[in-house]
Amino acid sequence: MLPDTTITAVEPFILHVPVTGNMIQDSTHTLTHWGVVGTRVRTAGGITGYGFSGTHAHLASDRLITSCISDSYAPLLIGQDACDVQRLWSALYNCAPIQWVGRSGITHLAIAAVDTALWDIKAKASEQPLWKLLGGATCSRLEAYNTDGGWLSLDSQTVADNCRRLVESEGYRGVKIKIGTDDPRADLKRIEAVRTAIGEHATLAVDCNGRWNLTTVLSVAPRLPDFDVLWVEEPLFYDDLPGHVRLAQAMLTPIALGEQLYTLDSFRDFIAAGAVHWVQPDMTRLAGITEWLRVADLALAYHLPVVPHVGDMGQVHVHLCYAHPAATRLEYIPWIKDCFEEPIVVESGYYVLPQLPGAGTTFRPDAVERYGMEL
Ligand code: 0YR
Ligand code: MG
Assign residue 29 the CATH number of its domain: 3.30.390.10
The answer to whether 208 and 179 are in contact (CB under 8 A) is yes
Atom of ligand 1 nearest to the CA of 310: 10
pLDDT reported for residue 115 = 98
Is the CA virtual torsion 270, 275, 279, 285 positive or negative? negative
Quick check: is 363 in a domain? no
Ligand positioned closest to the Cα atom of 258: 2
Q: Residue 234 Cα, ligand 2 centroid: separation in angstroms?
A: 7
Quick check: is 253 in a domain? yes
Domain end point (choices 81, 97, 128):
128
Q: Is 58 in the pocket of ligand 1 (CB under 6 A)?
A: no
Kindly state whether residues 150 and 197 are assigned to the same domain. yes
pLDDT tens-digit profile of 47-56? 999 999 999 9
- Report which of 71, 107, 104, 73 is spatially closest to residue 91, judged by C-alpha positions: 73
Q: Indicate the DSSP class of residue 232.
A: E
Q: Which range marks the domain in which residue 344 is found? A: 132-351
- Give the C-alpha separation, 286 to 304, whole Å: 18
How many CB atoms are located within 10 Å of the residue 137 CB? Answer: 17
Q: Is 148 in the pocket of ligand 1 (CB under 6 A)?
A: no
Nearest CA owner, ligand 1 atom 7: 29
**CA 329 to each of CA 123, 143, 258, 322: distance values in angstroms, whole numbers, following the listed order:** 23, 5, 15, 9
Quick check: is 30 in a domain? yes
Q: Could you tell me the pTM of the whole model?
A: 0.98
- Give the C-alpha separation, 291 to 107, whole Å: 14
Q: Is 26 in the pocket of ligand 1 (CB under 6 A)?
A: yes
What is the CATH classification number for the domain harbouring 153?
3.20.20.120
Where do the H-state alpha helices sit in 199-351? 214-220, 241-250, 264-272, 289-301, 317-323
The answer to whether 167 and 16 are in contact (CB under 8 A) is no
Q: Is 207 in the pocket of ligand 1 (CB under 6 A)?
A: yes
Q: Is 108 helix (H, G, I), strand (E, B) or coil?
A: helix
Kindly state whether residues 77 and 172 are assigned to the same domain. no
Q: Is 309 in the pocket of ligand 1 (CB under 6 A)?
A: yes
Kindly state whether residues 111 and 136 are assigned to the same domain. no
Kindly state whether residues 148 and 216 are assigned to the same domain. yes
Q: Residue 233 Cα, ligand 2 centroid: separation in angstroms?
A: 6
Kindly state whether residues 121 and 168 are assigned to the same domain. no
Burial (Cβ within 10 Å: 0-12, 13-18, ≥19) of residue 212: buried
Q: Residue 44 Cα, ligand 2 centroid: separation in angstroms?
A: 40
Quick check: is 2 in a domain? no
Quick check: is 61 in a domain? yes
Q: Provide the CB-side half-sphere exposure for 15 (13 A, CA).
A: 28
Total number of domains in the chain:
2
Quick check: is 357 in a domain? no
Q: Which residues contact 157 (CB under 8 A, 6 or more apart)?
A: 193
Kindly state whether residues 160 and 274 are assigned to the same domain. yes
Q: Provide the CB-side half-sphere exposure for 277 (13 A, CA).
A: 14
Ligand positioned closest to the Cα atom of 309: 1
Ligand positioned closest to the Cα atom of 232: 2
The answer for 42, left when phi > 0, alpha when psi is -120 to 50, beta otherwise, is: beta
Q: Which of 20, 29, 148, 313 to mutate to test the pocket of ligand 1 (most atoms within 8 A of CB)?
A: 29
Quick check: is 1 in a domain? no
- Report which of 31, 13, 14 is spatially closest to residue 22, judged by C-alpha positions: 31
pLDDT reported for residue 1 = 78
- Report which of 43, 37, 23 is spatially closest to residue 285, judged by C-alpha positions: 37
Kindly state whether residues 156 and 252 are assigned to the same domain. yes
Quick check: is 313 in a domain? yes
- Report which of 203, 145, 149 is spatially closest to residue 332, judged by C-alpha positions: 145
Q: Residue 148 Cα, ligand 1 centroid: separation in angstroms?
A: 10
Q: Residue 137 Cα, ligand 2 centroid: separation in angstroms?
A: 26
Low-confidence ranges of the chain (pLDDT < 50): none
Domain end point (choices 71, 100, 128):
128
Ligand positioned closest to the Cα atom of 153: 1
Nearest CA owner, ligand 1 atom 12: 309
pLDDT reported for residue 156 = 98
Kindly state whether residues 238 and 99 are assigned to the same domain. no
Ligand positioned closest to the Cα atom of 150: 1
Q: Which residues contact 288 (CB under 8 A, 6 or more apart)?
A: 51, 89, 111, 112, 113, 114, 115, 116, 119
Kindly state whether residues 222 and 235 are assigned to the same domain. yes
Kindly state whether residues 299 and 192 are assigned to the same domain. yes
Domain end point (choices 128, 152, 167):
128
Q: Residue 333 Cα, ligand 2 centroid: separation in angstroms?
A: 12
Q: Is 211 in the pocket of ligand 1 (CB under 6 A)?
A: no
Q: Which of 209, 233, 332 to mutate to test the pocket of ligand 1 (most atoms within 8 A of CB)?
A: 209
Kindly state whether residues 214 and 94 are assigned to the same domain. no
Kindly state whether residues 193 and 270 are assigned to the same domain. yes
